[in-house]
Amino acid sequence: MRVQDPLDPPVPSDPPEPAAPGGPGEAVGPAGPVNPVGTVDPVDVDRDVPAAVEAWLRETLERRVREASATDAVFGSDLAARVARFAVTGGSRLRAELLWWAARGCGGGESGAARLLGAAAAMELIQTCALIHDDVMDGSALRRGRAALHVVLDGQYGTGARELPCGTFGGAAAVLAGDLALAWADDAFVECLDGSGASGGAYAIWRAMRTEMVAGQYLDLRAQATGTGSAGQAARVAALKTASYTVERPLALGATLAGAPERTVRRLREAGRSAGLAFQLRDDLRGTFGDPAVIGKPVGEDLREGRATYVLAVARERCARAGDEAGLRLLDGAAGPAGAGGRAADRVLDLLVACGARDEVARRVGELCHRGAEAVREAGLAPAAEDRIVTLLRGACGPDGGASGSGSPQAVRKAGRPVPTGGGR
């Protein structure tokens, strides 16, 4: 029996399985058939899962945009078309691939490939919702190397300086855009369950995942507002906000849709918790030390917004243990909009290196990623799918380079060691 790691956040048990909407023979709305791209050959999808998901999204979202434009032409062009474009272009398709390969590893796809492809595409729409909302809440100007949606909308109408109770017009409109993406994700997922024998269990996972995302985002905002947060609390936020819907739930959904036994689903959830947390901790490092040209958004936003990231929480705990009062004052005074500009931010980054917080988190990323890969190996999947999932996890959360650097803190930080700086989300 594996000993529970102190960093592991408690994971809520799945809710009782509800009756899934859209059961056999039941109408599921105006969107049409489950399979919008014709007959799906799972072997063809295996060759390029991201391309197959993109094709599904393109055809399905073209219909969604037409429906939105029939409701109102301005709404269709301003919001619906932009949400569709966001979902179709960019992103790693990691969640979709994990769902697909978990199902394939459990014998799924031979008679229900279209259903699995629809579920994988629904994961991409959930990601679209999360990122659009995240950019509004964080005030991020860039996403995937382009202007964030709320910035585009404010630019279109010249409303960037006109504050509303909930931000600018662009911010408020982008909240609605994220809501639309979530509605489309729910539509796609419900449609893919039509006629599925695993609909109840899969829908329970879907419902839990949506709640976890909202809970994690709220706890993140709360930590910023209150200025509190231990390393354990930061890990809890990361597990709920990102790890669940990025790795754990996609793996569990794929296996459940394929009719996998409970032991397999449980092992994949364990894998997803470890690798998903590694993914978020790695993302925190990239957001603090990474290259904006690589990650597609500015670095240092966590400091400017005073976010209670795991690496900052670790730095505070290490400074407290060492009796480093100057370091604690620096962390308390430089983080946040009032103090994180210019040289103050550089001093915080140097402290993260000098106190060992950066290296500790980088090592933790590697350990969690390894644990996730080992759990996948123990899940009893088909070998080809198992290998593919392990490769995906290592690419998404595995550290690049060693766990320590040499030279001054400034040199280590500027050299980029050992911070992983993989592709954008």
Q: Is the pLDDT score of 228 beyond 50?
A: yes
For the segment 177-189, what is each residue's pLDDT rounded down to a tens digit? 999 999 999 999 9
What gap in Å lies between CA 293 and CA 273, rounded to an integer? 29
Cα 200 to Cα 4, 98, 190, 204, distances in angstroms = 30, 20, 11, 6
CA angle centred on 275, ends 272 and 280, rounded to 5°? 115
What gap in Å lies between CA 243 and CA 274, rounded to an integer? 8
Residue 266: exposed, middle, or buried by beta-carbon count in 10 A (0-12, 13-18, 19+)? middle
Q: Is the pLDDT score of 301 beyond 70?
A: no
End-to-end CA gap in the chain: 34
- The set of residues, in sequence order, having a beta carbon less than 8 Å from that of 313 and lying 6+ positions away, is 229, 230, 231, 233, 234
Q: What is the pLDDT of residue 195?
A: 74
DSSP β-ladder status, 142-143 and 146-147: antiparallel
Q: What is the pLDDT of residue 36?
A: 56
Least confident of 95-109, 217-231, 300-314: 300-314
CATH class, range 41-196: mainly alpha
Tokens 């419902």 belong to residue: 207
What gap in Å lies between CA 288 and CA 297, rounded to an integer? 11
Q: And the tokens for 63?
A: 């219909």
Q: Is the pLDDT score of 198 beyond 50?
A: yes
Question: In whole angstroms, how large is the CA radius of gyration of the chain?
Answer: 22
For the segment 242-253, what is each residue's pLDDT rounded down to a tens digit? 899 999 999 999
What gap in Å lies between CA 265 and CA 273, rounded to an integer? 12
Model confidence band, residue 309 (pLDDT cutoffs 50, 70, 90): confident
- Show me where the domains of the chain are located: 41-196, 198-425
What gap in Å lies between CA 227 and CA 307, rounded to an integer? 8
| Among 91, 12, 96, CA closest to 296 | 91
CATH class, range 198-425: mainly alpha
pTM over 0.75? The answer is yes
Q: For residue 167, is it left (φ>0), alpha (ψ between -120 and 50) or beta?
A: left
Mean pLDDT for 147-156 is 89
Q: Let me know if the fold of 41-196 is the same as that of 198-425.
A: yes
Helix (H) or strand (E) holding 142: strand 142-143
User: Is the pLDDT higher at 45 or at 347?
Assistant: 45
For the segment 68-91, what is each residue's pLDDT rounded down to a tens digit? 999 999 999 999 999 999 999 988
What gap in Å lies between CA 289 and CA 286, rounded to an integer? 5
- For residue 95, the one-letter residue type is R
Mean pLDDT for 371-382 is 97
- Can you name the residues that pair with 146 across neighbouring β-strands? 143
| Among 364, 371, 104, CA closest to 250 | 104
Q: Is the pLDDT score of 25 beyond 60?
A: no
